[in-house]
Structure 1
Amino acid sequence: MGSKTGAVSSLLCCPCRCLFCGVLSCLFSVLACIFCVAALVALVLFLLFRPHIIRATAISADLSDFTLTPRTWILHYNLSLGLQVRNPNKRIALHYRGVVAQAHFQGQQFGHTAPPDFFQDTSETSTLDLAFAGESPIVGGIAAAAFRREAAEGAIFSVDVKISSHMKLKVWVLKVPGPKTKIDCPLRLQRRDVAHGQRPPEFHQTECRVTFF
Structure 2
Amino acid sequence: MCCLCGCCESIVKILWAVIAFAINSLITLVIIVCTVSFIVWAMLRHDAVKFRVQGAELTQFTFDPDNTNLHYNLSLGFSIRNSNSRLGIHYDRFDARIYYDHHRLAAASVPPFYQGHKSTVAVGTVFQGQNLVLLGDRGRGRFEDERRSGVYGLDVELKLRTRLMFGLVNTWRFKPRVRCGVKVQLSSSDAVRGSGFQSTDCRIHF
Q: Same fold (TM over 0.5)?
A: yes
Q: Hey, what does 1:140 align to over in structure 2? A: 135
Residues 82-121 of structure 1 mapped to structure 2, 5 A cutoff = 82-121=77-116
Find out whether 1:57 has 2:48 as its counterpart: no
Match of 1:208 in 2: 202
TM-fit CA distance, 1:71: 3.7
Query: 3-state SS of the aligned residue for 1:130?
Result: strand
Q: 1:198 — aligned with what?
A: 191
Counterparts in 2 of 1:34 and 1:139: CA distance versus 1, 3 Å: farther
Where structure 2 has 5 or more consecutive residues not aligned to the other structure, the ranges are 1-17
TM-score normalized by the length of structure 1:
0.76
Return the alpha-carbon distance in structure 2 between the equivalents of residues 162 and 48 of structure 1: 24
For residue 49 of structure 1, report the CA deviation from its aligned partner: 8.7
Structure showing greater radius of gyration is 1
Deviation at 1:130, TM superposition (A): 1.0
Root-mean-square deviation (CA), in Å?
2.5
TM-score by length of 2: 0.78
Q: Deviations over 1:40-77 (max 9, x none)?
A: 63235534895134101111111111111124111110
- Counting matched residue pairs gives 181
| Amino acid of the structure 2 residue aligned with 1:117 | P
CA drift at 1:35:
7.4
**Other structure's SS at 2:175 match:** strand
Please state if 1:149 is matched with 2:145.
yes
Instruction: For structure 1, list consecutive stretches of 5 or more residues without a partner in the other structure.
Output: 1-25
Cα displacement string for residues 84-105 of structure 1 (whole angstroms, at most 9, x for unaligned residues) = 0111111111001121110100
**Aligned residues with identical type, % of pairs:** 22
Instruction: Decide whether aligned partners of structure 1 residues 41 and 177 sit closer, same or farther in structure 2, where only a CA change above 3 A counts.
Output: closer
